Chains A and B, each alone.
Chain A
């Protein structure tokens, strides 16, 4: 299957700082990417849909000014957690859909964020 990478895998930061997470589709182009968050022992929750060249669409309850999403190319989307707080500590996972083959979403390995 198609490969999606995320960087970094782990990040620990101080409260109040900003953290950027990258999501890349390695062998296909993705006009649409998705950002999910997963808390311990819970399922994945969709945060936002990232569209190449346009603004992201955020799910209800997700602050767009806190979770900045940029999808500047067909292979890269970034999620920036601004002014991170301990409650933002979570497992952040991105996924991407192949623009040519619309049927399947492929997920990245996830980024674990710990805010101290």
Chain B
């Protein structure tokens, strides 16, 4: 699986957009980009995933660069409940397991 690089931590003001970057320069053509988050003492929560095109759902937007070497997760209006560790994972469709890196600890500040 391709490796991802994320900042260790980020702060965001409540109500503002949170933009979480992820580098995956060695991603292969058929690997997806997945985002999960883990709120303290809970299991990871699926957020969004994409292959090439930008994606949006009720939780977030995913912007993938044209060369697919990096992506950004956007939480459009961060709330205090969005404080969590956010994991960016690249995953080959059909491969068995997801490998978690260290993620980005996002703190939403009132």
Contacts and interface: CB of A to CB of B under 8 A. Distances in A.
Task: Specify whether A and B are partners.
Answer: yes
Interface of A: 1, 4, 6, 32, 34, 36, 43-46, 49, 57, 91, 93, 95, 102-110, 112
Interface in B51-110: 87, 93-94, 96-103
Interface of chain A: mostly helix, strand, loop or mixed: strand
Interface of B: 32, 34, 36, 38, 41-46, 49, 87, 93-94, 96-103
A6 B44 CA distance: 13
Nearest to B87: A43
A110 B42 contact: yes
A105 B93 CA distance: 11
Nearest to A110: B43
Contacts of A4: 43
A9 to B, nearest CB: 10
A103 B32 contact: yes
B46 A103 contact: no
19 contacts: A4-B43, A36-B100, A43-B100, A43-B102, A44-B44, A44-B100, A45-B100, A46-B97, A46-B98, A49-B97, A57-B96, A95-B98, A102-B94, A104-B46, A107-B36, A107-B44, A108-B43, A110-B42, A110-B43
